[in-house]
Chains A and B, each alone.
Chain A
Amino acid sequence: MANMLKLIKNPLSKENPIAVQVLGICSALAVTTQLKPAVVMALSVTVVVVLSNVVVSLLRNTIPSRIRIIVQLVIVSLMVILVDQFLKAFVYDVSKQLSVFVGLIITNCIVMGRLEAFALANKPLPSLLDGIGNGLGYAVILIILGFIRELFGQGSLWGYKIMPESFFEAGYVNNGLMTMPAMALILVGIIIWVHRSRNEDLCEK
């Protein structure tokens, strides 16, 4: 049981897909200008990782290893299409905002990475937990980024104005750099910096 719990807990910090493995950076920079799309994107990726992890794990003994990448791609695309249709049906505005990045989950390194590194060699239940863990690890970073960028870049959270009007009257101005991908990359760097200074064993010698 403790081992099972580790599968969820490790990717949140010590094996975080973004902060430690530096995967999935592209979407982390692109969709985090606001909190809402960041959360939706994080959930979508989590669902895709979990479902494809389980399916690939179930098929792991029947997939010929020479064509395994293409089989994995087919499974992942199926999941992405499902998620995409779901988003279009229920949260159309966010789906429009995310635009191409939902489709691009197919190429998200985290998904393929988990399939290759874990699901192909493990039973369905651990694969399920591994998928949840990595999806959440990705989600944590995205939500931190979305929170900081929307709060300081636009003065709002989830679309609601948070910064009080009196701030603006006193001369406060929203930070334009926060809405640009460059600042998201710097923020990811700062997260990695803080993370490593708290976990010295992650630092390269």
Chain B
Amino acid sequence: MKFIKNTLDKMRPSFEKGGKLHAFHSLFDAIDTLMFVPATTTTKGCHIRDAVDNKRTMITVFIALLPALLFGMYNIGYQHYLSIGDIVAGDYCANFWNNFGYGFLKVLPLLLVSYIVGLGIEVIFAQIRGHEVSEGYFVTGLLIPMICPPDVPLWQLALAVAFAVIIGKEVFGGTGYNFLNPALVARAFLFFSYPIQMSGDTVWIAEKADAYSGATPLGEMIAGAQLPSASIMDMFVGFMPGCVGETSVIAILIGALILLLSGVASWRVMLSVFAGGAVMGLIFNAVGANDYMNMPFYYHYLIGGFMFGAVFMATDPVTAAHTNTGKYIYGFLIGIMAVLIRVVNPAYPEGMMLAILLMNVFAPLIDYYVVDANIRRRAKRAKLVNNK
């Protein structure tokens, strides 16, 4: 640490005003403040003293994502070797290092592309607009590869990242001003632009053998299966085809625990997403018009990206509702919409992405009415009702 600090301090003068590398000062600031607490403090106005700033928050989310990422790497290798017949189904630990190594080499390029393109654009915007590089992309850059199929072409990923950062975030003023979750914007861009690479039964296992069925549990349900072919235990641990980081419920729950204990994510949102999913699942059970509707409601938690979306996407503090009552409504509607889209619309197998994006749009409206209702209630209590 000391070595890094010394190096940075030695480099500082050439990045300050008048230094020959001043043009790259935003990049230097970004690295400097990522490693160390900035030396400058607020000089006027009231402010809260707290060790937790934006960067520390982002790193907490980063750590919370790691279990899902590591498991995702392992699962990619496992699914690959399973499909070419090197290992038998159920033999989870055989071939351990090969599985992990294969998945690691698959995911690494995705991460590199996501970070290089995304941070490159962030730096350019920071440079033009004269503010420091914001830490927002730190998490987004990890989220985007985790919600893509392992075989997504790198140029498509790069395009999606550029689209998400520019159209999803920077045009609205950068981190903290975006009304849509940038990672989901990237995924929606990929989903609608390149449906062949983003949906169907062939994309979810890296370099799949042709004879092997690569359908995700979601795909099987839409194709008319009675229940997903994977066992509940497999789906809970995460041994099923799917996006890089979404398959393992248990790894995501570890992340959820980290987020909740550190207070970074809102338990209100998470809880109400699950409640919404359960309510809609139970309604479908009661209707029971086809096998998909008859699927027990808790299966919705296990298949597809429901869990990942509920824990890491819906809780995004920027795009979620801000009032406490609003968070319940926001989360509940996400759960309802996700299950509704999944079951009713076979063109969109993964309802979670669309549900969260839709509710992102409505979050400010929900907040507006929650605040408005509160004002009315208090005005009534104070007997100040004037017929507005």
Contacts and interface: CB of A to CB of B under 8 A. Distances in A.
Nearest to A173: B194
A74 interface: no
B197 A173 contact: yes
- The size class of the interface chain B forms with chain A is 10 to 19
A193 B171 contact: yes
Contact of B194 (A175, A189, A190): A175
Contacts of A171: 153, 155
A158 B198 CA distance: 29
Contacts of B171: 189, 193
Nearest to B188: A177
B195 interface: yes
A186 B194 contact: no
A175 B156 CA distance: 10
Interface string A179-199: 010100010011001000000
Contacts of A175: 193-194
Contacts of A193: 171
B167 A177 contact: no
Main secondary structure of the interface of B (DSSP, over half): helix
A176 B194 contact: yes
A180 B192 contact: yes
A193 B171 CA distance: 9
Contacts of B156: 173
Contacts of B192: 176-177, 180, 182
Contacts of B193: 175-178
Name, among B155, B156, B192, B196, the residue most crowded by chain A CB atoms within 10 Å (CB to CB). B192
Interface string B198-217: 00000000000000000000
Contacts of B153: 171, 173
- The size class of the interface chain A forms with chain B is 10 to 19
A173 B203 CA distance: 15
Contacts of B194: 173, 175-176
A177 B195 CA distance: 9
Contacts of B167: 186, 189-190
B189 interface: yes
B189 A177 contact: yes
A47 to B, nearest CB: 35
A193 B153 CA distance: 30
Interface string B172-198: 000000000000000001001111110
Contacts of B196: 173
Contacts of B189: 177
Interface in A159-184: 171, 173, 175-178, 180, 182
A3 B136 CA distance: 51
Contacts of A178: 193
A171 B159 CA distance: 14
A186 B155 CA distance: 21
Nearest to B156: A173
A111 B155 CA distance: 43
A182 B167 CA distance: 13
Nearest to B197: A173
A5 B196 CA distance: 51
A181 B262 CA distance: 42
Contacts of A173: 153, 156, 194, 196-197
A177 B193 CA distance: 4
A126 to B, nearest CB: 38
Interface string B127-162: 000000000000000000000000001011000000
B201 to A, nearest CB: 18
A76 to B, nearest CB: 36
B134 to A, nearest CB: 20
5 contacts: A171-B155, A173-B196, A173-B197, A176-B194, A176-B195
- 4 A-B pairs closest in CB distance: A177-B193, A177-B192, A175-B193, A176-B193
